């Protein structure tokens, strides 16, 4: 490389996420483990998320299921509680939890960006569908009707004059990590490992060279120790053999000397 050439910077990892999802903890772990690869956050709507991944506008993303599994891989992460957003003075605010049938007489907004998997919410439909969840929240604050959303979206659009309560008997939203199957890069694999809670030295994760070197040295040390132990064992066995041979020969010599002494000590026979 000449003096005028500059080293190329590492490519960034682009992570899409939909409203209500907070990727902060996974981003923090990425920055700790892979500080040399910048992570770029790309916020998209729930409807836009699958298309953004297919078009390569992001390497992976947090989206809401269902999605087209023929084109996208997905790892379901968690299921959100569905709540109803109501004015603070609404009757439902007096309860810790309400059932969908208890709201059958209410006007229920069904925004075009609704993230719950149903054709029509319970209750009475509004005259027209609001364009966004934010628009529907404004109508709820005006006292026109109520709105069903995942709990994270109720928190995202929090207002002092509104509250929300968990609802039973309605669909729930599932959040998943998704990416195009044909573009499962090393960086995608790294992020999958982070989301699944794998450690840096996990056998299923991609280890760095620094993480592998200590293991190699330990293996070599164990092999060397085993060889030394084997040599010591062989030395002891050889010494035992020599000691045993000397002991047997000594016993034989002592036995022969005793026999000769007994024969030599016999008295001469008297002649007649």
pLDDT of res. 4: 42
- 3-class secondary structure per residue, the chain: CCCCCCCCCCCCEEEEECCCCCCHHHHHHHHHHCCCCCEEEEECCCCCHHHHHHCCCCCEEEEECCCCCCCEEEEEEEECCEEEEEECCCHHHHCCCEEHHHHCCCEEECCCCCCCCCCCCCCEECCCCCCCHHHHHHHHHCCCCEEEEEHHHHHHCCCCCEEEEEEECCCCCEEEEEEEHHHCCHHHHHHHHHHCCCCCCCCCCCCCHHHHHHHHHHHHHHHHHHHHHHHHHHHHHHHHHHHHHHHHHHHHHHHHHHHHHHHHCCCCCCCC
| Per-residue pLDDT band at 52 (split at 50, 70, 90) | very high
Residues 6+ away with beta carbon under 8 Å from 148: 82, 83, 84, 85, 108, 116, 121, 167, 170
Ranking 40-44, 115-119, 243-247 by mean pLDDT, the lowest is: 243-247
- Assess whether pLDDT exceeds 80 at residue 87: yes
Average pLDDT estimate for 22-34? 96
| Per-residue pLDDT band at 117 (split at 50, 70, 90) | confident
| Per-residue pLDDT band at 155 (split at 50, 70, 90) | very high
- Assess whether pLDDT exceeds 60 at residue 206: no
Average pLDDT estimate for 59-65? 97
Average pLDDT estimate for 26-48? 96
Partners of 41 in the beta sheet? Answer: 15
- Assess whether pLDDT exceeds 70 at residue 14: yes
pLDDT of res. 243: 46
Q: What is the mean pLDDT of the chain?
A: 81
pLDDT of res. 128: 95
Average pLDDT estimate for 28-37? 96
| Per-residue pLDDT band at 100 (split at 50, 70, 90) | very high
pLDDT of res. 263: 46
- Assess whether pLDDT exceeds 90 at residue 167: yes
Q: Which domains does the chain have, with CATH numbers?
A: 13-79+174-199 (3.40.190.10), 82-168 (3.40.190.10)
Question: Rounded CA gap, 59 and 36, in Å?
Answer: 17
pLDDT of res. 11: 85
Instruction: Tokens 């500059």: give the residue.
Output: 6
pLDDT of res. 62: 98
């Amino acid at each position: 490389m000449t003096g005028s050439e500059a080293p190329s910077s590492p490519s960034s990892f682009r992570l899409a996420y939909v409203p209500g999802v907070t990727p902060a903890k996974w981003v923090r772990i990425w920055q700790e483990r892979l500080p040399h690869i910048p992570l770029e956050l790309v916020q998209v709507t729930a409807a836009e998320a699958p298309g953004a991944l297919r078009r390569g506008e992001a390497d992976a993303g947090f989206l809401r299921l269902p999605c087209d599994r023929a084109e996208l891989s997905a790892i379901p992460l968690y299921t959100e509680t569905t709540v109803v957003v109501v004015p603070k003075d609404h009757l439902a605010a007096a309860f810790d939890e309400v059932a969908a049938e208890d709201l059958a007489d209410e006007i229920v907004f069904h925004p075009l960006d609704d993230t719950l998997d149903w054709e029509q919410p319970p209750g009475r439909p509004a005259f027209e569908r609001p364009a966004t969840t934010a628009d529907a929240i404004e109508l709820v604050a005006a006292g026109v009707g109520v709105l069903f959303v995942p709990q994270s979206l109720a928190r995202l659009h929090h207002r002092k004059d509104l509250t929300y309560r968990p609802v039973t008997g309605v669909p729930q939203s599932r959040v998943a990590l998704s990416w195009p199957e044909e573009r499962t890069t090393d960086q995608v694999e790294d992020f999958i490992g982070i989301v699944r809670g794998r450690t840096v030295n996990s056998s299923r994760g991609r280890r760095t060279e620094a993480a592998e070197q200590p293991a190699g040295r330990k293996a070599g040390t164990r092999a060397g120790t085993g060889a030394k132990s084997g040599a010591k064992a062989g030395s002891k066995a050889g010494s035992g053999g020599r000691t045993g041979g000397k002991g047997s020969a000594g016993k034989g010599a002592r036995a022969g000397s005793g026999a000769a002494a007994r024969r030599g000590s016999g008295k001469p026979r008297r002649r007649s």
